[in-house]
Amino acid sequence: MNNMETKKYPSEIKRPSDLIDIAKLEKETQKYLYIGLVFALLLHPVIGSYFMFKKTNESVSRTYPMKLVLRSVRFLKPFELKPKHSSKRELQRTEMQIKQPIAEVKAKTDLTIEVTENLHELNLDTNIPESEKTHDEITGIDTTSVQNIPDIEKQISMKDEMISVEDMDTGQYRAMIVQNPDKINIRGFVYISTTWGDQLKVSDHLKRSIINLAEAVNRHTNIEAKIDSHLLLNSRRLLSTPFVIITTDKAFELSPLERENLGEYLKSGGFAVIDNGDPLQEYSQAESSLRQMLKDTLGNGIKFEPIPNDHQLYHCFFDFNEGPPQGAEISMVQTTTSGAQGETSRNASMSRPVHYLEGIWLDGRLTVVYSNKGYVLKWTEYDNNEPQLKMGVNMVVYALTHEGGIAQKTMSQYSSVQ
């Protein structure tokens, strides 16, 4: 084709590749491979020896020797150790002046005057020698009025020590606060935790209530509220905690040690908020257990009295002029009844509202706030619970500021004047 001769191959060769001798090609390839390996083995030692024995012309700078000379110390002025002369002490006699007591002097009452006149009518000798009279009888001071006055001279001045109330958050105290004339301007810190016992348990759906309450305190006040670990009723740490919340929705009973520890806590300045975690059921097991717990702790003679709307609990931070806000006690309650012949019927009714909080007073101090409103249920919600959270803020602030409480006793050791 195209004037080119067609190369003809023998008939036994079908394609051009059949002309290649594979055995010969393989031998030639191995021969050149061995030659290359021998060449490489000879070349590398030669190159390595060249660079190893090659002389370099780089000059290295020499370091000059240095001599260290130690010279003797020369004083320009004579050095002498002179003793420090102290001022001569002289013994002087000074008269101590008795400070006037910082207490209100109360005049004698009419009853004392009447008793004295009656004694004169009976011709009894009421003249007591001056040596047998007590200091209170001589000065006319009622010592009961000065028992609660802190010793100012023993107070630690936070101003002089240059410390703030936030610096006292070292784990030693469970709460400390500094009050100002303006009730809104209060600052400090407090640890809030759930209270547990051997049988007293907090259900899982109630545990978030403490978290939301602490967030509300941080949001509305200058008090830094922190979540603490579980607080056990038989722990001595309870006695230094100014504010505790006890809640449950199940029946329980305290051990003798827990009752004794809780009673000592409440009588020594503690403040407890007892909230029924099952407010929809009237006379529920939780309510019965909580009320019986207080009776076993403080005695059967305690009284659950309504807290009036003008009490400081409702006005210490937020003002609740109409009393406590509605809790979770109002809702539709579904009940199922079974008849004698096996028929069942379902009824829906509105639960009964609770119009007030109940309190227990010990020596004139509000010690326990009992609630059947189920505030802990409202605190667990994410919205539509702002009034209930504000009521919780008031409970925390009241526990930290009321007279005779643990927080006030702690702050009496310090002078918070800035």
pLDDT confidence of 178, banded at 50, 70, 90?
Answer: confident
**What per-residue confidence (pLDDT) applies to 149?**
47
**What per-residue confidence (pLDDT) applies to 379?**
94
**What per-residue confidence (pLDDT) applies to 176?**
86
pLDDT confidence of 68, banded at 50, 70, 90?
Answer: confident
Alpha helices in 245-385, H assignment, sequence order? 256-267, 285-298, 375-379
Average pLDDT, the chain: 78
**What per-residue confidence (pLDDT) applies to 220?**
95
* pLDDT > 70 fraction of the chain, expressed in percent and rounded: 66
Query: What is the average pLDDT across 242-267?
Result: 94
Picking from 179, 230, 103, 144, the residue whose alpha carbon sits closest to that of residue 410 is: 179
Please count the helices (runs of H) and the strands (runs of E) in the chain: 9, 14
What values do phi and psi take at 209, rounded to 5? -60, -40
Axis-axis angle for helices 208-220, 386-401 (nearest 10): 80
- Secondary structure (DSSP) of 362-402: ETTEEEEEEESS-HHHHHTSSSS-HHHHHHHHHHHHHHHHS
Residue burial 237-264, b: 16+ Cβ < 10 Å; e: rest: ebebbbbbbbbbbeebebeeebbebbbe
177 with 186: CB under 8 angstroms?
yes
Query: What is the average pLDDT across 314-321?
Result: 94
Distance (Å, whole) CA 369 – CA 313: 10
Both tokens of 242, joined, read 């100014």
**What per-residue confidence (pLDDT) applies to 228?**
87
**What per-residue confidence (pLDDT) applies to 59?**
65
Backbone dihedral region for residue 212 (phi beyond 0: left; psi -120 to 50: alpha; all else: beta): alpha
Q: Which domains does the chain have, with CATH numbers?
A: 110-145 (no CATH), 181-408 (3.40.50.12140)
Distance (Å, whole) CA 395 – CA 314: 8
Residue with the two structure tokens 């504000």: 390
Query: What is the average pLDDT across 287-294?
Result: 94
**What per-residue confidence (pLDDT) applies to 88?**
63
Residues 6+ apart with CB under 8 A from 381: 212
Q: How far is CA 47 from the centre of its chain?
A: 77
pLDDT tens for 20-47 read 778 888 888 898 999 999 988 888 888 8
Query: What is the average pLDDT across 250-276?
Result: 95
Q: Would the pLDDT of 346 be above 70?
A: no
337 with 285: CB under 8 angstroms?
no
**What per-residue confidence (pLDDT) applies to 198?**
92
Least trusted range by pLDDT, from 3-12, 232-241, 306-315, 380-389 = 3-12
Picking from 237, 395, 255, 272, the residue whose alpha carbon sits closest to that of residue 325 is: 395
pTM: 0.60
pLDDT confidence of 353, banded at 50, 70, 90?
Answer: confident
**Which segments within 126-282 are labelled E, that is strand?**
156-157, 175-178, 187-192, 195-196, 222-227, 231-232, 244-248, 272-276
**What per-residue confidence (pLDDT) applies to 211?**
93
Q: Would the pLDDT of 122 be above 70?
A: no
Least trusted range by pLDDT, from 8-17, 148-157, 160-169, 335-344 = 148-157
pLDDT tens for 138-174 read 444 444 444 444 555 556 665 555 567 777 788 888 8
**What per-residue confidence (pLDDT) applies to 134?**
45
**What per-residue confidence (pLDDT) applies to 53?**
79
